[in-house]
Amino acid sequence: MSSRLQVEFAGVPFKNPVVMASGTFGFGREYADLFDIEQLGGISSKGLTLNPRSGNEGIRIWETPSGIMNSVGLENPGVEGFIAKDLDWVNSLDLVNVVNVGGHSIEDYVQAVERLNDVNLDILELNISCPNVKQGGMNFGVKTDLASEVVRTIRKVCKHKLVIKLSPNAENIVDLAKACEAEGAEGISLVNTFLGMAIDINKRKPVFNNGYAGLSGPAIKPIALRMVHQVSHAVNIPVMGLGGITNWQDAIEFIMAGATVVQVGTATFMKPDKALDIIAGMERYCEENNIANISEIRGIV
């Protein structure tokens, strides 16, 4: 691999700009058995909360045209469980270690982030947008003033590089991103899943126990791309773009829209090492178009 894909994000060097999206890759162990995950740029961990969570009851995944809806409900071992079992392993890999943190109250966020202050990681990605958990992230990610409050509070306690993961369900995603920047976030990632719904017409009930669930995959790509374009042209901090990226052409589009790093999520379910195909394709594209470094085309659209 040449240096064509090397980028820097908020001062963190990436050997290539492809990160596995939170919730689709666990902590990497399962996929490490299947392919050389050190060829990736980084991994964003399964979303962690202060305490372990067993997640939602009922159906958790539903296929849609060109996408999937999920309602996992942040099943995770908690920050302490992650530190005890997986953190050292992730840190031992030649990868950017992005640790994703969610919460149900500002106090939960603060305690989880404070605990993570004691350990090594590269970037802390704050999930203010998971739409799955009742009374959860949704509120913080929809209203600009609530997002500002949580980012302001977390920025004061967080010793790590802080990236805020935005919800596409935000009332005004550009204003919300600007507020995150103003409160001291070092980067933005977007978008999380879109709130969707499916109904079981035989039972005459929603498919998901929570009623609504998060839509991801190729179905959301055009909207995600538009939001990444808007946000990355409105802020001066770097952006990780995601939402339905399935092939290298999609990834290049997100870079041209203004993303420094891209995240691949749902596509991994098509083929475990889909992200490696994306990296290879991006490299080839740069080579064929005499692009010495991918940053030359960042935000050119």
Residue 274 and residue 250: Cα distance in Å, rounded?
12
Beta carbon nearer to other proteins, 199 or 270:
270
**Segment interacting with other proteins (CB under 8 A) among 20-28, 182-190, 225-233, 278-286:** 20-28
> Least distance in Å: CB of 99 to other proteins?
16
Binding mask 245-274 for other proteins (x = CB under 8 A): -xx------------------x-xxxxx--
Residue 250 and residue 235: Cα distance in Å, rounded?
22
Q: Cα dist. 131→41, 128, 134, 140, 223 in Å? A: 27, 9, 8, 10, 17
Beta carbon nearer to other proteins, 218 or 238:
218
Alpha helices, DSSP H only, in the chain? 29-32, 78-85, 87-91, 106-117, 138-142, 144-157, 173-182, 221-232, 248-257, 274-288
Task: Tell which one of 141, 196, 214, 218 touches other proteins (CB under 8 A).
Answer: 218
> Least distance in Å: CB of 68 to other proteins?
5
- Residue among 295, 287, 300 at smallest CA distance from 9: 295
Residue 300 and residue 290: Cα distance in Å, rounded?
16
> Least distance in Å: CB of 53 to other proteins?
10
According to CB under 8 A, which residues from 128 to 147 bind other proteins? none
Going 126 to 263 to 97 to 132, the CA torsion angle's sign is positive
**Segment interacting with other proteins (CB under 8 A) among 52-60, 99-107, 155-163, 232-240:** 52-60
Beta carbons of 73 and 130 less than 8 angstroms apart: no
Site membership for other proteins, residue 208 (CB under 8 A): no
Beta carbon nearer to other proteins, 20 or 286:
20
**Segment interacting with other proteins (CB under 8 A) among 53-61, 79-87, 133-141, 176-184:** 53-61
Beta carbon nearer to other proteins, 270 or 301:
270
Mark whether 180 is an active-site residue: no
- Residue among 181, 106, 111, 114 at smallest CA distance from 137: 106
Residue 131 and residue 195: Cα distance in Å, rounded?
7
Site membership for other proteins, residue 202 (CB under 8 A): no
Site membership for other proteins, residue 62 (CB under 8 A): yes
Catalytic residues: 130
Applying CB under 8 A, the residues found at the interface with other proteins are 23-26, 30-31, 33-34, 46, 54-55, 59-63, 65-68, 70, 72, 75, 217-218, 246-247, 266, 268-272
